[in-house]
Copies of this chain bind each other. A is one copy, B any other.
Amino acid sequence: MCRTLSPFLFITSLAFGGVLHAADKEPIQPINAAKVANPAMVELGKKLFFDPRLSRSGFISCNSCHNLSMGGTDNIKTSIGHNWQRGPINSPTVLNASMNVAQFWDGRAKDLQEQAGGPIANPGEMAFTHELAIDVLASIPAYRAQFRQVFGQDKLTIEQVTRAIAAFEEVLVTPGSRFDQWLMGKKSALTKDELAGYQLFKSSGCIACHNGPAVGGNTFQKMGVVEPYKTAMTAQGRSAVTGKDADRFNFKVPTLRNVELTYPYFHDGEAATLTQAVDVMGRLQLGRTFTPDENAKLVAFLKTLTGKQPQLVLPILPPSSDTTPRPVPFD
């Protein structure tokens, strides 16, 4: 299941060593609160994240599929794109995404900035072009002024747009979950069943892939280790990026932070509930059928990973000017 052995050794030693309270001895670390280095850039990025004028239709914004009211996802199997096209894969959460080893399920973008340009120009998603997006933004006086203030130059570029969006996404972290409170020493933060779930999460091997502060997101792993995963979805995962057949069906391990909010699960969105997801993961990845009681405890633990959601004041977008190119929702 893992491409290196060391995580397994680490976990096994922990699993048999009992529960350790000091966060630095656990394979999961607490989420830190966001540090806002450049508030003006973050504020600009927030506007862009919510602005549907970055799409051809004028209807789809980043927030449409990474809805910050809903755990940074759209809670549907695969997203709805321009002209109601069916997306090829489940939209991963934008929450804590800065901790991912790379972006997209197949890791084809190295970071949030590289990711941010993708959906804008994807004909199946926002269906725009970077050039047209820049034309729109540059035609809006209030945006021009804000870009100038943040980037110190008159010329507006797609790199500025994606950098600002990434700066906003970097502050979308969710500290303060009950599990993190427990990690930081508050023993009463978890119930007995939740703690038993965490112990089982470690001892059964889930932790081998779902570890670190994001409880995942830091490696690519094969979907279907013990048993193959059956899906109608054609996505090939990591091999589409590396060209290596050995990477076929390797996907980025999703973060389990806020997993209570980010249903449905898996790259194809075919697991509707945590109970189903835990059952499939146990059988396909670990060769283990969890009993209903074990499953319930794992689910109880997973729900303690829901952190404090970013409290955002809805941005007020600057109006288009008379020269702003108008959206084309219907071709």
Q: Identify the A interface with B (CB < 8 A).
A: 50-53, 57-59, 64, 67-71, 74-77, 80, 83-84, 86, 260-261, 263-264, 272-275, 309, 311-317, 319-320, 322, 326-327, 329-330
Contacts and interface: CB of A to CB of B under 8 A. Distances in A.
25 contacts: A50-B69, A52-B70, A53-B75, A58-B75, A58-B76, A59-B64, A59-B74, A59-B80, A69-B316, A70-B317, A70-B319, A75-B327, A80-B329, A83-B84, A260-B319, A263-B320, A264-B326, A272-B326, A273-B322, A275-B322, A309-B316, A311-B313, A311-B314, A313-B314, A314-B314
A272 B322 CA distance: 8
Given A68-B314, A309-B316, A311-B313, A74 B58 contact: yes
A76 B50 contact: no
Contact of A69 (B275, B314, B326): B314
A74 to B, nearest CB: 7
Nearest to A276: B322
A329 B75 CA distance: 11
A193 to B, nearest CB: 17
A136 to B, nearest CB: 12
B320 A75 contact: yes
Contacts of A263: 319-320
Nearest to A80: B59
